[in-house]
Amino acid sequence: MKNFKSLILLISLSIFSSYINAEVIIPSEDEKSSLKVYLFKNHSISNPVFTTDIDNNLTISKTNSKVIAGKIKSSVCYLNDLTNYELDYLRLQGESETINFLQVDSMYAKYGIKNLAKILSTESERDLVIFANSLGFELEVETACKDSTNGNPGSFGGFFNADLFLISDYVYHLMLNKENQNKSRVGFLQGLTAADNLGSWTFDEILALSNNYLEGLAEEEKGEKEFMEGFTNLAEEKSKDYTGSLFIKLNDYGSPKFCTTSYSDFGDSVAVFGYRQMGDEMAYSALSDYYKEKGITLNYDKNQNSFDIIFNDISEAFSSIKPKLANNEDYCNIFIDYPENLLKLKNALERDLGVQAVIGNLWDRTTTSNQYALGQGYDNYEQYYFAYQIKANYGEIKSLENYQILNQSEFKKVQDEIVSTGYSNDTSPNNVSTYLDDLSNAQQQNMNVNEYRDARVEEEERLAKIAREEEQLRQAKLAKEEQLRRAEFAKEYPYTATLTCGMGGGDHINIFGCFAGSGSYGADTELEITNGQNYQMYKVYNLGQAGNEYRTGLEINLKESFKIYAQNSAEYLMLSLKIIDNATGATVFEDSASQYGVISISN
């Protein structure tokens, strides 16, 4: 039955293939049926992505490794034109009629359908993601051959590893017929059943999708043309109302290198630096998708410089970038500047190197300037520029805003008023804020501002004196408490021993160095301590338990009765012991020993 159906279809296809050179063929209903496209799951894979539940409803396997990883594979290679490689793989060399049928993208184009693989991969990916989401799965679909019209080498064998594939009705029956004739190598098609069919698109549906896609492309082309016309006008007008970027070389990994030209004007410079802080919003959708796929961000990191290179002018930029780009070096990936310089650089690189540099998004001066100000901790550019003019910080600017002092002109009026009223000769932002506070309070109390200032200063000095006296009392109390604590401690531990190991003269490196054997014949030594009734011998591995080691040495709290025995093992280091009386701070014992020398004391 299948062979017979295939034969009928081949006859039908041979009829409409005679129109292959026509402009656009209007298909009959039978031809429309043959041009239907199916989405199949790959039945030859063990534990496939798609399966059925107990009620025979389509579902997704929770145990499939690709589902767990969050990415499944699909293929639209059967919707492409065949390459010579694939014709040879399918053993179809010399069969011109069959070969014509298998130029699938070209065949559909004769019926007015363009970008077949692209539009159906987009539709199928979207539908699969929606279906997965409805079942609680987050899946990404990676589709082979989606961006091509010619099949890739090996692609016809390639979807044995794919989870899904799309195939036209007529191609399916044609290849099945060739398999029955033992002439092709796609035997896995034999095992397909209706249960493997996950969906389909009719000719009319595909045509509508194609038309919509072409309309979208036309709109994009129109938008790009209008954008470049506007961009060129801005460049010719030498406008600095907008800042943009030029994507010179796309990097496959690592952070892109950003560069620009130097500007002496404060506002011009801020707008350019603010554009850099727009990050991922510099790139339009296609570029943005590229960087996302590569896992690369354009966002600004405050721990890095805004720009890798700042050129003096656009001529220096061109002469520096050109040889690096000719050698395929990642020297300046993204150039940020105003339209005039960007267009000059773009045209020069395309002229001399044939490089197709791409213009990024344009952002207006207000947006980029505000972005920079936000990065500096201010609310907007006007606030930041005011702070820059009067050399104020954010807190001082906010204090001035409380009195509606928002620009340099208003600030200057207050400065003049401070001097003319005899309030002060200090007109710094901080003192201006203080004056405005005093003036406001003075007016509320019907006082002269200078009289209020004097009263405030007198009160502040009185409160400061009280605070100092209270702090002195607190410190005296703490000192007395510390004295009592030390006295109590000295009763139990009247002495403190400090062992040092270093080059001598109180130098300390590490206590272990004087007890771990050194040289070819060196031997470890011990530290013995009797503290009150407690005796301990310490070896290299537990020396730290004898006391607390600081930069000044190993400190050991000693009771009234004690014995210390220490032998130095170091060839070049000096072992020293110092004992002080905790009650008086006086040194009661001090001794040193070189290699194998002994320090011994008892009390």
pLDDT tens across 411-428, in order?
999 999 999 999 999 999
Residue 505 is predicted with a pLDDT of 81
CA distances from 296 to 31, 255, 282, 303 (A): 47, 7, 13, 17
- The total of other beta-carbon atoms located within 10 Å of residue 166's CB is 27
**432 near 416, Cβ under 8 Å?**
no
| Total-model pTM | 0.61
DSSP lists the bridge partners of residue 197 as 40
Q: Are strands 548-550 and 553-558 parallel, antiparallel or unpaired?
A: antiparallel
Complete DSSP assignment for 421-435: TTS-S---HHHHHHH
- The single-letter code of the amino acid at 516 is A
| Among candidate residues 548, 550, 593, the one with its CA nearest the CA of residue 568 | 593
Distance CA 550, CA 508 (A): 9
Residue 527 is predicted with a pLDDT of 95
| Among candidate residues 162, 337, 147, 142, the one with its CA nearest the CA of residue 238 | 337
| Among candidate residues 583, 520, 533, 582, the one with its CA nearest the CA of residue 562 | 533
Segment 337-379, tens digit of pLDDT: 999 999 999 999 999 999 889 999 999 999 999 999 999 999 9
Helix (H) or strand (E) holding 389: helix 381-390
Residue 82 is predicted with a pLDDT of 76
Segment 199-225, tens digit of pLDDT: 999 999 999 999 999 998 888 888 888
- The single-letter code of the amino acid at 289 is D
Residues of the chain with pLDDT under 50: 1-20, 153-159, 183-184
3-state secondary structure 35-97: CCEEEEECCCCCCCCEEECCCCCEEECCCCHHHHHCEEEEECHHHCECCHHHHHHCCCCCCHH
Residue 20 is predicted with a pLDDT of 47
Contacts of 417 (CB under 8 A, 6+ apart): 423, 435
